[in-house]
Structure 1
Amino acid sequence: MSKTVLVINSGSSSIKYALLDPDSGESLASGIVEKIGNPVGTITHKHDGEKFVVEEPVPDHGHGLKEVLRLFEEKGPSLHEANVVAVGHRVVQGGRFFSGPALIDDSVVQTISDLIPLGPLHNPAHLKGINVARELLSEVPHVAVFDTAFFQDLPEEAARYALNREVADKYSIRRYGAHGTSHQFVSQEIAKLTGRDDLKQIVLHLGNGASVSAVVNGHAVDTSMGLTPLEGLMMGSRTGDIDPAAVFHLARVGGMDIEQIDQLFNRESGFKGLVGDNDMREVWKKCEAGDQNAIDAIDIYIHRLLKYVGAYTAVMGGLDALTFTAGIGENDSLVRQRLLDRLAYMGIVYDPKINEIIRDPHPRKISTDDSSVEVFVYPTNEELAIARQAVTFA
C-alpha cells in the first residue's frame, strides 16, 4: 500500500496543505484555509478534479485544521484510508540548529520558538500549525522541514557579514537564506535530468518573493537572501539589496521609526512601491501602455538578476546550468527573454519558441544544443520536497 504524507504550511492567517505520495510525486488532495481570525474565512479543498469551497468563520488555526480534517473525510480522500505515515511542516527559520529535517518533539518546538527573533513574520505562525496538528494527528510523526537548512553549510566567506564579530555572534547575525527547500529540490532534479552530479548551477526562484542560489556539486555556496528574506533581488513588495544607511537616513531625516521602515522595506517597496502593483502581469500591461515607472521597474529587476548571475558565475568559476523556477520564473517568458538576451555574451543561446511556452507543468530545456550553458525551466514543488524529507522519519 502506498504511503502518503500530509504537508502543512501554516501562515499567520492561513493554512496551506497537500496530501502527497512521496514516491510517485502524485498530489491526492490540496487546499488552503484563508482569512483566519476574520469575520468570515474561506476553506478551499481540491480532490479528484473537484473543488469544494466553504465560507464560514475560522476563529483560529485549531478550528481551521479541524475543518480541513472534516473535509478530507467528507470529500475525500479519507486520511484513515490514505495511509498517512507522517506530517511535514514547512518552517522558514531554522537558524544554525537545523541542517536537515527534524522529528518534532517538545525540544524542537522550543528551538523554533527561540528562533522567533530571526523569523518574526513566519515562525510564530508555523508553531500554531505544528501545535494544533500534533494534537489532532498525534498517531503519526511530525517533521519540520526548514527553508534555511540547505544553506546551513554555506562557506564562511558567503555566510558571514563584515560586521563586528562579537556583535554578529552575540545576536546570531549571518546569512541564513530562504527558499532553501525549493533551491535544493530544483538543483537536485536538474542534476538527475542532466545525469551529472558535478554541476555548477544557478537557480533563480522568482516569485513575489525572489532569491537566487549558487550550487556546486549539490552544495549551496551562496544565496541572495540573508539574515532575513529582505536581502537580494528586487521582489513584489521588498526592496532587495539597499544601502543599510537608508535606515539611518529615514530615521534621522524622515522621522520614521523602525516599524515604519520595516513596513516600507518589506511591504511597500519592490514592484508595489515602484509601480503600484506587484502582479507582474499588470506591470507588463503598464509597460506596453508606455508607463515609464513600469518600464524602469522592469529594467531594475533585470539589472539585479544580471548582477547576481554574473557574480555567482564568478564565485563558482563557471556555470553549467541556469534554471528558472517559481511563479514568475516558470511563467514569465518576457523576464526570461530579457535576462537571457543580456547573457548572450556568455555564449548562452536559447530557443525563443520553447521559451514562450507558459503554464506547462513539465520541466523543459530552453537552451539550444550549441549553448555554452544549459538553461531550464523547472517547476518547483516544495510540498513534494517536504513530503520526501518527512517520510524518512516514518
Structure 2
Amino acid sequence: MNVDTDQSQSLLTINSGSSSLRFALFSIHEPDTPQCLYRGGITAIGGGGRFHVHDAGGDLFHAQDTAIPDHGHALQILLAWLSKEMLLQKLVGVGHRVVHGGRRFHAPVRVTEENLVYLKTLIPLAPNHQPACLLGITTLQGLQPGLPQVACFDTAFHHDRPAVEQYFALPAHPKLDDVRRYGFHGLSYEYIASILPDHLGKLADGKVIVAHLGHGASLCAMNQRRSVATTMTFTPLDGIPMGTRCGSIDPAVVLYLQDQGMTAGAVSDLLYFQSGLLGVSKETDDMAELLASSSAQAQLAIEQFVHHTVRSIGSLAAALGGVDALVFTAGIGEHAAPIRAAIGERCQWLGLYLDRSANQLGHTLISRSDSPVGAWVIGTDEESMIARHSLRVLEHHKQRNTL
C-alpha cells in the first residue's frame, strides 16, 4: 500500500514483551510528525489478560478482561478492535521495536524474509528480549500478510560511538566477532535527543547525560545529541541494578555458580529475573512500593540503585570530559521524586544542585537557577520514534518503487 499524507491513513506501532504488548496508533496526515490517536497495551499474555486503550489525552477509551493464551490471540484482539473502530483498513504499515540489530542494522529496515532470518540469529545475544520482538512480527505476518512492517532497533542509536567504547579487552577470535558493547534503550535516547532543544536550548548540543530509569534501566552520555557512552553493553543485563536484573557483575561469578552445579538456564534466570530491586529487597521490583516500605532490605535495594546510578553518572561525565545537563526519563526517572533527589544530592560535586520544590512537584526543570549543571525531567516516547522511523522507511520504499 502506498504511503500518502491522507488524514484517513494511520500507522501502528508494536512493542512486544515476553508476556505483554504495548501499541500505539498514529495518524499520518503530516508525514514528518505523526500524531498519536490511541495508546494501549495487552498484559498477562499466557493467562487472564487485560486489553486497554487510551485516547491521545490519556483517558481510558476501551478495556476488557479476557483470557489471552499467546501473542497470536493478543494481536487478534488488537486487530479485531481496530476493525470494529473502522481503523484496520486505514493502516499503511506497522512499526516494531526490536531490541537487537546486531552488527548489520544501524537504521530501521523494512521487514523481509532475509532480514528476519538475520534477526533470528541474534536471539542468543538477547535471549530474553529478541524472541518476543520477533514474535510480534511473525504473528502479524500470518494475520495480515500484505501489511508492510518495519523493524526499529534499540541498538542503532549507539552504533557510531568511539571504537574504545564499543569493544571489550578481548583477543581477536572468530567466536568473538559479535561480542561487543552494543548499548540499548536507543529508541528512548533518540527520542529524548530529538526534543532536547525544546527544553535545553543551546545546551542540547552540549555534554548531556540521560538517565533512562525504569524497570529496565541504563544511562547514556551524549555530545551533539549523539551517543558517546552508555551503561548497557553486550546485553540488557549490564549496567546499573534494575527491577529484576542484577546489572554489572564480575563474569567469574557465572563461572563460580556453574562450578557449584547451577545450569546455564538457572544462572540466566537468577541474573535476569530474580535479582535487582526484587532480589535485594525480597519484596518487589516496584520502586514506588519500595519507597513506601520501611524494611531494611527495601532500603538496601533503593540504596544500591541510587549508588550505582551515581557511580555511572560519574563515569559518563569522565567519558564526556564534563557535564552540562542531566535528564531523567522513563518510569522511575519521571515519577520517583525521592530517587531523583537522592541522585541529585550525591551529584553536587559535579555542580548539580536540585530545586527541592520543583523536583517534588515534578516540574520539567528541577535544578536551581544558580546550578552550574542543569537537571530536567523529560518524558520519553519510544512509540513516536518508531512511528517516525517507520513512516520514513515506508515512504522511501514507495519512492524507490515509483522510479
Normalising by structure 1, what TM-score? 0.90
1:154-198, Cα deviation, whole Å (9 max, x unpaired)? 22111101122215634x111111111001111221134333353
Distance 2:280 2:359 in 1: 27
Q: 1:284 to 1:12 in 2, by over 3 A?
A: closer
2:253 aligned residue (235, 238, 246): 246
Matched with 2:379 is 379
1:342 aligned residue (343, 346, 357): 346
Helix, strand or coil for the counterpart of 1:356?
A: helix
Distance 1:24 1:99 in 2: 22
* Residue 257 of structure 1, CA deviation: 1.9
1:33 aligned residue (39, 42, 45): 42
Helix, strand or coil for the counterpart of 1:44?
A: strand
Query: Is the 2:12–2:94 Cα contact (8 Å) retained in structure 1?
Result: yes
Matched with 2:71 is 61
1:316 aligned residue (293, 317, 320): 320
* Residue 66 of structure 1, CA deviation: 2.1
Query: Is the 1:32–1:45 Cα contact (8 Å) retained in structure 2?
Result: yes
Distance 2:195 2:251 in 1: 36
Distance 2:17 2:276 in 1: 22
1:7-52, Cα deviation, whole Å (9 max, x unpaired)? 01122333221102465564312222333343x4332233473443
The amino acid across from 1:66 in the alignment is Q
* Residue 309 of structure 1, CA deviation: 0.8
Query: Is the 1:14–1:36 Cα contact (8 Å) retained in structure 2?
Result: yes
Distance 2:68 2:299 in 1: 41
Consecutive unaligned residues in structure 1, runs of 5 or more: none
Alignment of 1:219-258 (within 5 A): 219-252=226-259, 254-258=260-264
Distance 1:345 1:225 in 2: 25
Distance 2:219 2:105 in 1: 21
Distance 1:50 1:281 in 2: 23
Matched with 2:100 is 93
The amino acid across from 2:359 in the alignment is N
Query: Is the 2:126–2:236 Cα contact (8 Å) retained in structure 1?
Result: no
Matched with 2:329 is 325
Normalising by structure 2, what TM-score? 0.88
Distance 2:305 2:252 in 1: 22
Query: Is the 1:99–1:150 Cα contact (8 Å) retained in structure 2?
Result: yes
Matched with 1:351 is 355
* Residue 201 of structure 1, CA deviation: 1.0
Identical positions, percent: 37
The amino acid across from 2:43 in the alignment is E
Q: 1:345 to 1:24 in 2, by over 3 A?
A: same
Matched with 1:206 is 213
2:54 aligned residue (35, 46, 50): 46
1:105 aligned residue (112, 115, 120): 112
Distance 2:339 2:65 in 1: 37
Distance 1:123 1:166 in 2: 25
Q: 1:251 to 1:165 in 2, by over 3 A?
A: same
**Greater mean deviation of Cα atoms: 367-376 or 263-272:** 367-376
Query: Is the 1:234–1:304 Cα contact (8 Å) retained in structure 2?
Result: yes
Q: Are positions 1:193 and 2:202 aligned together?
A: no
Distance 2:238 2:380 in 1: 21
Distance 1:141 1:167 in 2: 35
Query: Is the 2:354–2:368 Cα contact (8 Å) retained in structure 1?
Result: yes
Helix, strand or coil for the counterpart of 2:190?
A: helix
Q: 1:169 to 1:210 in 2, by over 3 A?
A: same
Query: Is the 2:34–2:387 Cα contact (8 Å) retained in structure 1?
Result: no
Query: Is the 1:42–1:54 Cα contact (8 Å) retained in structure 2?
Result: yes
Consecutive unaligned residues in structure 2, runs of 5 or more: 1-5, 395-403
* RMSD of aligned residue pairs (Cα, Å): 2.0
Query: Is the 1:160–1:174 Cα contact (8 Å) retained in structure 2?
Result: yes
**Greater mean deviation of Cα atoms: 292-301 or 24-33:** 24-33
Query: Is the 2:52–2:60 Cα contact (8 Å) retained in structure 1?
Result: no
Helix, strand or coil for the counterpart of 2:88?
A: coil
Query: Is the 2:157–2:190 Cα contact (8 Å) retained in structure 1?
Result: yes
* Residue 279 of structure 1, CA deviation: 1.0
The amino acid across from 1:326 in the alignment is A
Helix, strand or coil for the counterpart of 1:8?
A: strand
Query: Is the 2:33–2:388 Cα contact (8 Å) retained in structure 1?
Result: no
Query: Is the 1:45–1:71 Cα contact (8 Å) retained in structure 2?
Result: no
Query: Is the 2:245–2:272 Cα contact (8 Å) retained in structure 1?
Result: yes
Query: Is the 1:237–1:273 Cα contact (8 Å) retained in structure 2?
Result: yes
Q: Are positions 1:275 and 2:281 aligned together?
A: yes
Distance 2:252 2:276 in 1: 18
The amino acid across from 1:213 in the alignment is C
Q: 1:204 to 1:66 in 2, by over 3 A?
A: same
1:70 aligned residue (66, 70, 80): 80
Helix, strand or coil for the counterpart of 1:164?
A: coil
Question: Size of the alignment, in residue pairs?
Answer: 381
The amino acid across from 1:33 in the alignment is I
Distance 2:42 2:306 in 1: 34
1:17 aligned residue (5, 8, 23): 23
